[in-house]
Amino acid sequence: MLNGFFRTVLPGLLACVLVGCSPGGAGEQAGGLAGDVAVAELPRQAQETLELIRKGGPFPFRKDGAVFGNREGHLPKQPRGYYTEYTVRTPSERDRGARRIVAGRGQSGNPSTAGEYYYTDDHYNSFRRIRE
């Protein structure tokens, strides 16, 4: 068991000490992102949510448009209030589920026109930038 630790965990820890780590861990890109995803590759419900964001609503959930704090630091660092979150319906869930789109304000200052969108299907544990 200890031998497995030295082969798997220790090299990653050593790399973090020498060059630094993103909050998301090994294998993620700068900013803690797990890559990107094309709009066409998103689940249909995520595509519908993205379209609602672009239109400025109306949104089906009361918390849609709330500030996303990025406390885990998985998204690029920005001032508080820069990111807002939106629920992506999950057909088998009775509540909001784990899927979200987080929108940045970008240079326009408006999430509906900024074009900066991130998708998570695991309740903020990982994000992929939406490629348009």
Q: What are phi and psi of 23, to 5 degrees?
A: -60, -25
Half-sphere exposure (CA, 13 Å, Cβ side) for 117?
28
Degrees, nearest 5: CA angle 33-105-71: 50
Among candidate residues 41, 51, 93, 123, the one labeled active-site is: 123
Active site residue 132: no
Among candidate residues 41, 85, 93, 132, the one labeled active-site is: 85
Residue for token digits 């704090």?
A: 69
Active site residue 123: yes
Query: Which strands form 36-38's sheet, in the order they lie side by side?
Result: 36-38, 128-131, 117-120, 100-104, 83-87, 66-68
Cβ proximity of 106 and 97 under 8 Å: no
Catalytic residues: 85, 123
